[in-house]
Chains A and B, each alone.
Chain A
Amino acid sequence: MARFLARRLASSVLVLFTVSVLTFLIFEVIPNGNPALRLAGRTATSANIAAVEKAYGFNKPIYIQYLRTMGQIFTGKIVSYAQNLNVLSQLKQDLPVTASLVLGAAVLWTLLGILFGLVAGLNAGGKIDTGITVLNFVGISAPSFVIGYVLIYFLSFKFHVFPSSGYVGLSDPLGWADHLVMPWFSLAILYTGIYAQVLRASVVDTLGEDFVRTARAKGLSRRRVVIHHVLRTSLTQIVSLCGLDIAAVLGGSAIIIEVVFNLPGIGNYAAQSIGALDVPPVLVITMFGAFAVVVFSTIADVIYAVLDPRVRAGSSL
């Protein structure tokens, strides 16, 4: 296990380094991307621009600029070009919003996915199964922001059930949940469909295993067999998926949903910064997202190994 973790650590450092270099380069090759032009203001003379370039070090070679920026990130002094605010403190302020959104949605999609997958798998081949399967595919085929707008239209605009935008802190738990119900569902529907399909296939496979027949034959109730034998076996896949998907959502769908519902989270910050070609926040957020992917996939692998004795014994990690 220690060797596995050490190898993972080394590989994640490499991944993070490459991601940061790539992001830096992408913004370096942008035409008209010179941040000095915007920093110096609209009526700047060429002398002003040159002064800004000197102050920020834009006239230095690119690797020096890169090292400087990375130094600022790790000492916590990184400042955005557009608003001249500290990026890390902004990120700290936005993190609870994004965490509430993503973790809440993850709980929702895991529970719903298990429920639908189990019901469909136990009724495999029947009408309920076909119905749930088609429903799952509708969820998989609809972009999350479209679901978001449909929810806003019906639940906020037509019938005033939930507020259409904004965020309330956790100090007001009811208001917090009230504002997040629709974003949670918009984000969760896709993964509910995927998890239900994965679990359904796994349940169908497990139901045909010998140990399930043995459990039934020795007189255990159907409920006990389903929960303790079938579900336990099938859940390992869901657990490893969950870690990866939380990370994927952090750097993906969460951005769009935060924009749709106007939630002041990291995704919204990223979208605004990219629109303004503001490199420091984009760099930090991209690295944060890549870091999340690396960390969550490592956690998922470890949990998978703990839950599934076959993986542990085979030491295939």
Chain B
Amino acid sequence: MVAGEPYTATSVTPYRLALRRLRHNYTALFFGFLFVLVVVICLLAPEYARYIAHTGPNDQHITDVLNINGKQVDVVSLTGVPIGPTWHSRFFLGADSFGRDLAVRLLYGGRTSLAIGAMATAVTLCLATVLGLASGYYRGWVDGVISRILDIVWAYPALLLAIAIGVSLATGGISIGPIVLNSGSIFIPTFIIGIVYVPYVARPIRAEVLALREREFVEAARALGFSNLKIMATEILPNLSSTIVVFAALQLAHSIILEAALSYLGAGVQPPASSWGTLLASGTPLFTVAPYLTLAPATLLVAACLGINIFGDGLRQALDPRGRVGVAR
């Protein structure tokens, strides 16, 4: 990492090299663009709600009547079946059974899902990096204690753990010292998801640190009298960065999917807040009469996860020093 130093054009840093490889991987770039596209349209949710749909994510229109191509149509029919996609500015993708605009809820829900995914990924990566670094670098009893903790988190059935904590916290919230979380807080599913995945990331990092700490440059740093903390921060951590970057992409997809699963089982995001998971949960009972209520959030969720997964795979190939250019190595 030599940002700002006057390097000549003949020298190529590993990241420059990776970028060069990635630039020629059109499959990865296309799917990366797909993910960015989903993020951008979700970020534009308030503008869409205000200027195009003219309704908020929680506004109910059960008794409204729409005029579509000269015909009068109920937003929610007398038998309780909501309107399907109108492909007009209002109720573009139809309504749910409360007469709420599905497209608006979808975009707002996407913001929640993406935010939870991003924050949970940050929690996972921070904890996993610190634990992996400490146990791989210090070895001995530190490694023993951390590895056992990881074993326990890993052996605890992930979804059961998440549902158990999710249900217990969602019914009453929690207060630990000065931190008070309401039962509807999205930080509850965020932390659960973040912690569940820590062993999956911490173990590979630990293995890498175990190998790195024996390398000559670490020995050199030790000979120069660097403290342990400084060696970890300036010698080992930069060498872990490509692993962490790849895991960031992977974990983002994993976290978004786990959020959907948790919310589907009622242990994640709590109504009336929407996320792709809660939209799926409320859509699936009506699957036979109104399949778009399930298909719309499912499509957006799969598009986002597919985009980040394939882009992440391209990133992995590009950062792999043995890697060659192309989709298939």
Question: Which residue numbers of A lie inside 8 Å of B, CB to CB?
Answer: 11, 14-15, 18-19, 22-23, 26-27, 29-33, 124-126, 129-130, 133-134, 137-138, 140-143, 145-146, 149-150, 152-153, 157, 201, 204, 248, 250-253, 255-256, 259-260, 270-271, 274-275, 277, 282, 285-286, 289-290, 293-294
Q: Which residues of B contact A152 (CB under 8 A)?
A: 287
CA distance A141 to B326 in the complex (A): 22
Cβ contact within 8 Å between B152 and A19:
yes
Cβ contact within 8 Å between A141 and B309:
yes
From B167, B253, B287, contact of A274 by CB (8 A)? B167
Kindly provide the distance from the CB of A4 to the nearest chain B CB, expressed in whole angstroms: 15
B154 closest partner in A (C-beta):
A293
Cβ contact within 8 Å between B163 and A146:
no
Best-surrounded residue of B164, B168, B266, B291 (most CB of chain A within 10 A): B164
Contact A274 to B164, CB < 8 A, known contacts A30-B171, A130-B27, A143-B257: yes
Interface residues on B, range: 35 or more
B264 near A: Cβ within 8 Å?
A: yes
Q: Which residues of B contact A253 (CB under 8 A)?
A: 159, 261
Among listed B120-128, B234-242, B299-307, interface-contacting one: B299-307
CA distance A13 to B267 in the complex (A): 29
Cβ contact within 8 Å between B159 and A256:
yes
Question: Which residue numbers of B lie inside 8 Å of A, CB to CB?
Answer: 27, 148, 151-152, 154-161, 163-165, 167-168, 171-174, 253, 257, 260-261, 264-267, 280, 284, 287-288, 291, 294-295, 298, 301-302, 305-306, 309-310, 313, 326-329
A-B contact pairs, 19 of them (CB 8 A): A15-B148, A19-B156, A22-B156, A26-B165, A26-B168, A30-B171, A31-B172, A33-B168, A33-B171, A130-B327, A141-B253, A141-B257, A141-B306, A204-B329, A248-B158, A250-B157, A251-B156, A260-B284, A290-B155
Kindly provide the distance from the CB of B320 to the nearest chain A CB, expressed in whole angstroms: 11
Cβ contact within 8 Å between B163 and A271:
yes
A292 closest partner in B (C-beta):
B157
Kindly provide the distance from the CB of A91 to the nearest chain B CB, expressed in whole angstroms: 14
Cβ contact within 8 Å between A29 and B168:
yes
Cβ contact within 8 Å between B302 and A259:
no
The 3 A-B residue pairs with the shortest CB-CB distance in the complex, in nearest-first order? A251-B157, A31-B172, A289-B157
Contact A11 to B305, CB < 8 A, known contacts A26-B164, A146-B298: no
CA distance A184 to B56 in the complex (A): 40
Contact A286 to B280, CB < 8 A, known contacts A32-B172, A204-B329: no
Known: A26-B165, A26-B168, A290-B156. 8 other contacts (CB 8 A): A14-B148, A130-B328, A149-B287, A153-B287, A201-B329, A255-B160, A289-B156, A293-B157
